[in-house]
Amino acid sequence: MPHEQGPESGSVNAPARLTRRALLQRGGLLAFAAFSPLGCGDSAQPNITVPIGGDARFLDADELAALRALVNRFIPGPPEDSAPGAAEAGCAEAIDALLGAFAVDPPRIYAGGPYSDRGGAATNDFEHFIPLDDYEALAWRLRIEGSQGRPEREFNGPVRGLQTIYREGLAALDAQASTYGSDRFADLPTVTAELLLRTTRDAAVQALIDVAFPQTIELMYGAPEYGGNRDLVAWQYTGFDGDVQPRGYTDEQVEHPENPGLSEWLPRLPVAIPLEQLIALTPLASYEGAQTILQNSNGSLSRLTTGIAQVLAARRTTHGP
């Protein structure tokens, strides 16, 4: 029964529950960190364990190091934040496993179903990836490898694959690092890496960021079987229950959930985020509501930004600036 025993619980998947006090303390630390990026020291290179996905690899060691440093800028971990970031959570290796998905059989594209072992099932079906049929294999080879001049892949012209976008983008990152006195992006101090990313006009780097941040998000906030969200770190710091089947929730939990007091969140809202704008986005909170933006973006950060900007502009139209 209930995987929730009291009002302090954050995530049903959390091996050690965080107390509310700890949560608030962490939040306070976070807010401080956000406003003091200069005090954060060098980019930490996290310990890397054996990547999930076995032989599903595409990048070489230097490329992977650059990618690790990149995802660490996307979702930073310690010391900038107390919670693990994308690098610690395995997102770089998970992206590499996607780029090399077809090196293993079945390719690690779709985790199995119906259950992981987090919601009461005895075994973890998610760990057994689903064999692709010919249609899915063609689609994912096209997406990952690109069309490579093959006629059967170029019915709408050439397609640039993710492998190319990553390889060229990561090489460009290292090349740009030389402007800052380093051969490797991975060796740049945090602030320098941040400066490079925020100011570069390099097309290969921008194309990389455009797909790599959405993919980092996917692997960080999705199921850990894909290689990111290691030890469920992202589900813990967001208080997300994750997949709860087959146990689900009791009627009592649905109708009368305990309401952990997050009432202190308003003062902790980062000053860079106007509350009014955040409010304007909240109606997107449903599958139906989010679909227009997510479908139009199709994995592109710039198109996500365009979609959100449209919503914010409409808010100004209906409610004034």
Partner 1 sequence: MARDAIVIGSGPAGAVTAWELARQGWSVTVLERGRNLRPGFGEKPSGELGTLYGSDEIKGARHFGFPDPLLNPNTSRTQADAADGVARTASGNVGQLGAAVGGTSLHYNAKFPRFWKQDFHMLSELGPVNDAQVADWPFSYDDLAPYYDEIEYQVGVQGDIEQMPVATLAQAPRSRQFVMPPGPTGYAARLLAEGAHRVGYTAYPYPAAVNSQPFDGRPACVACGLCSGFGCPINARGDALVSFLNPAALTGRVRVIERAFVYRIETRADGRHATAVRYKDTAGRDHSLSASKIFVAGSPVNTARLLLLSANTAHPHGLGNGSDQLGRNMMFHNFTLGAALFERDIHPLRAQSTTLEIDDLVGPFKGAEIRALGLPYLKGGIIQVGSGAPLLTEANLLAGFTGYGLIHKQLMKLGPVHRLVAGSQLVGEDLPQADNRVDLDPDVKDLHGLPAARITYSPHLHERVAAIVLGARIEAFSLLAPGAIAAAIIPYPIISTAVPATAHLAGTARMGTDPAASVCDGSGRLHEVDNVYVADASTFPTFPGFNPTLTIMANALRIARGVAGGTA
- By CB under 8 A, the residues from 51 to 70 that bind partner 1 are none
Per the CB < 8 A criterion, the answer to whether 243 and 116 are in contact is yes
Per the CB < 8 A criterion, the answer to whether 72 and 45 are in contact is no
The only residue of 24, 33, 175, 195 in contact with partner 1, by rule CB under 8 A: 33
Look up residue 236 and give its DSSP letter. H
d(CA 183, CA 190): 15
Stretch that binds partner 1, among 60-68, 153-161, 166-174, 177-185 (CB under 8 A): 153-161
Q: Which residues are paired to 155 by β-bridges?
A: 157
The only residue of 19, 25, 123, 310 in contact with partner 1, by rule CB under 8 A: 310
The only residue of 76, 90, 107, 169 in contact with partner 1, by rule CB under 8 A: 76
Sign, CA torsion 88/48/200/59: negative
- Rule CB under 8 A: say whether 104 interacts with partner 1: no
Per the CB < 8 A criterion, the answer to whether 83 and 232 are in contact is no
- Residue 178 or 309: the one with the smaller Cβ distance to partner 1 is 309
> Which residues, 178 to 217, sit near partner 1 by CB under 8 A?
194, 209, 213-214, 217
d(CA 117, CA 203): 43
- Rule CB under 8 A: say whether 27 interacts with partner 1: yes
CA neighbor of 281 nearest in space, from 311, 307, 314 = 311
Provide, rounded to whole angstroms, the least separation between the CB of residue 212 and partner 1: 9
- Rule CB under 8 A: say whether 171 interacts with partner 1: no
* Side chain identity at residue 276, one-letter code: E
Question: Which residues make Cβ contacts (< 8 Å) with residue 295, sequence separation at least 6?
Answer: none
Using CB under 8 A as the binding criterion, the count of chain residues that bind partner 1 stands at: 122
> Which residues, 238 to 267, sit near partner 1 by CB under 8 A?
238-249, 251, 253-257, 259-263, 265-266
> Which residues, 271 to 300, sit near partner 1 by CB under 8 A?
272-273, 275, 277-299
- Rule CB under 8 A: say whether 307 interacts with partner 1: yes
- Residue 41 or 248: the one with the smaller Cβ distance to partner 1 is 248
